[in-house]
Amino acid sequence: MWIILLAILLYAEICVGATLVYWCATNPDEIELAKRLVKEWNHSHSETTIKLQPVPAGASSEEVLLAAIVAKTNPDIYSNMLPAMLNKFVKADTLLRLDGLKNFAKETEARIGATILKDYRSPDGHYHQWPWKLNPVMLVYNIDLFQKLNIKPPRTYDEFWTAAKKLTADTDGDGRVDRWAMSPSMTVMWWQRLYDFLPFYMAATNGRSLLNQGRADFNNVSAIAVMDFFQRGFARGYFPKSGTVSNLFAQQKVGMTIVGPWALKMFERSMAQKFNFKTIPIPVPDGHHGPAYTFGDPKSFVVFKNTQHPEAAWEFVKFMTSKKADKLLLDITGQIPVRKGLINDSYYKEVFVRRKNLIPFASQVPFTKPGDNSEHIVEILDFLGQQYEASAVYGTIPANKAIENAANHVEHIYKNW
């Protein structure tokens, strides 16, 4: 009896071939994209089946992924890897080295190009991630409101404050301010600083990162100026200090917001009244020279070392980042693939014609950085967040003190852990 059973099992095993588990991000747009591509793959690749699952819920996907690796319940492929976190996984020897795989050099040359690829290199000189998308964090403003109030789009802090002053107002005359300039987050979640402090810091410093060779590289005037910028905004009441700040931009309760391209669709969906908006680079300190860089909130594909089918996984990663897949990424999620010459490529032109508001983001890409890669990045950003809260939001310590504390803590972390 059981011989038959065994035979059936064996047969099934042969027929099914390899099955790979792939985790994608949890937002609805990305799930839709992944579903479509995986379906297509499974249709045309009978030898390797992909099982798609969004990252299981949790406080942050990084925490969930770590827990899964420890418990050995990790997927084969993961597409939401923050390069900042990569080093932690590389150090623990959990990721597959990609540069040893078939056609790695050829593939990179075709898609990414050697210069950009360097930003994604692991400290050991090898490559453990496949850059997927890079979404510049930029300033989006409400054109209609700006025109009505006769405000110039701000390029510098000075211009920003001029705009802020005009925007912040009590529009219904009840004696309380109900429209503000912008509503930066007040929360201390570590990743939040990737969307406020870091882009402004990169804009102020031509794309410098926070760390350099395991040392804090931000104890400088630019970082202090950025901290001071946020402190002023909160202190002068240009930024609302209230717990509920979701979607104020779509409700026209703030005139500006700092976001990546993924947010545009949400704005369009949740606008109570339709209005026009425009995207410009992050404002820079007065007297700044050169372009305004920004942080790119990059996400990469990685393959885990304990996969049974590394070659098949690599094939799938290439499929997910093919020319066609990149077009779907751009179209469905409004996110920008890491692909050289994207904006000038005639293949993608029709998407940009249809979705004009993606053009400023795509044009910003050459001045966009993927940020640091350190195994301590969560702890560093967490501490920076606490200093940001104390200095910018509550104004209990001066900006220079906050930056100094954060820089000292970086040394402390590297020394102790």
Partner 1 sequence: MSVRRLILYVMLTAGAVSFIYPFLWMGSISLRPMTEFQDLGLFSKNFTLANYQAVFDRIPIGRAFMNSCLIAGTVTCSVIFFSSLVGYSLAKLKFKGQGAIMAIVMISMMIPGQLTLIPLYQLIVYFGWADSYLGLIVPSLMSGMGILIFRQTFMTIPYELMEAARMEGAGEFQILRKIFWPLAKPAIVTIGILTFMGSWNEVLWPMIVVHEKAMMTLPQMVVLFTKGGESGGQFGVEMAANMMLVVPIIISYSFFQKYFVEALASSGIKG
Partner 2 sequence: MQSEQSHSKAGILFTSPYLIHLVVFFLYPVGFSLYLVFHRWDLMTDPEYVGLRNFTYLMSDHLFWQALTNTLYFLVIHIPLQIIVALALAIVLAKPLKGRVFFRATFFLPVVISGAAVTILWQRLYSTEVGLINYVLSLVGIDAVPWLTDPGIAMPAIAIMATWKNLGLYVVFFLAGILAIPQTVYEAAKMEGASSWHEFRYITLPLLKPTMFLVVVMSTLGGFNLFIEPYVMTGGGPLGSTMSVVLYMYKQAFSFQHMGYAATLGFALALIIMVCVFIQKKYLDSERYY
Residues contributing to the site for partner 2 (CB under 8 A): 59-60, 63, 66-67, 69-70, 88-89, 91-94, 186-190, 241-244, 378-379, 382, 386, 389-390, 393-394, 396, 416-417
Q: Of the two residues 27 and 185, which places its CB atom closer to partner 2 in the complex?
A: 185
> Counting contacts by CB under 8 A, is residue 67 touching partner 1?
yes
What is the residue type of 130?
W
| Rounded Cα distance, 388 and 182, in Å | 16
> Counting contacts by CB under 8 A, is residue 71 touching partner 1?
yes
Q: Of the two residues 12 and 57, which places its CB atom closer to partner 1 in the complex?
A: 57
We find the least distance from the C-beta atom of residue 102 to partner 2, in angstroms, to be: 28
Q: How many residues bind partner 1 (CB under 8 A)?
A: 15
Partner that binds at residue 57, options partner 1, partner 2, none, CB closer than 5 to 8 Å by kind: partner 1
In Å, how far are 23, 26, 42, 57 from 35, measured between CA atoms? 11, 12, 10, 18
Given a contact cutoff of 8 angstroms between Cβ atoms, the answer to whether 358 and 352 are in contact is yes
Instruction: Map tokens 């690829």 to a residue.
Output: 117
Partner that binds at residue 73, options partner 2, partner 1, none, CB closer than 5 to 8 Å by kind: partner 1
| Rounded Cα distance, 263 and 293, in Å | 20
- Eight-class DSSP state of 251: T
We find the least distance from the C-beta atom of residue 305 to partner 2, in angstroms, to be: 12
Q: By rule CB under 8 A, what string of x and - marks binding of each residue 235-274 to partner 1?
A: -----------xx---------------------------
| Rounded Cα distance, 264 and 137, in Å | 12
We find the least distance from the C-beta atom of residue 45 to partner 1, in angstroms, to be: 26
Q: Of the two residues 4 and 59, which places its CB atom closer to partner 2 in the complex?
A: 59
In Å, how far are 85, 290, 294, 361 from 371, measured between CA atoms? 10, 19, 9, 17
Partner that binds at residue 26, options partner 2, partner 1, none, CB closer than 5 to 8 Å by kind: partner 1
What SS3 state is found at 185? coil
| Rounded Cα distance, 380 and 305, in Å | 27
Spell out a b/e string for 87-104, using b for 16 or more CB atoms within 10 Å of the CB, else e: bbbbeeebbbbbeebeeb
We find the least distance from the C-beta atom of residue 374 to partner 1, in angstroms, to be: 24
Partner that binds at residue 72, options partner 2, partner 1, none, CB closer than 5 to 8 Å by kind: partner 1
> Counting contacts by CB under 8 A, is residue 408 touching partner 1?
no
Binding range to partner 1, per CB under 8 A, among 39-47, 64-72, 372-380, 393-401: 64-72
| Rounded Cα distance, 389 and 277, in Å | 29
Q: Of the two residues 59 and 272, which places its CB atom closer to partner 2 in the complex?
A: 59
Q: Of the two residues 117 and 393, which places its CB atom closer to partner 2 in the complex?
A: 393
User: 308 is written with which tokens?
Assistant: 């049974």
Partner that binds at residue 246, options partner 1, partner 2, none, CB closer than 5 to 8 Å by kind: partner 1
Given a contact cutoff of 8 angstroms between Cβ atoms, the answer to whether 224 and 403 are in contact is yes
Q: Of the two residues 178 and 268, which places its CB atom closer to partner 2 in the complex?
A: 178
Angle at 281 between CA 277 and CA 284, to 5 degrees: 130
Name residues whose C-beta falls within 8 Å of residue 226's C-beta, 6 or more positions apart in sequence.
197, 200, 201, 204
Q: Of the two residues 91 and 152, which places its CB atom closer to partner 2 in the complex?
A: 91
Chain residues in the site for partner 1 (CB under 8 A):
26-27, 56-59, 64, 67-68, 70-73, 246-247
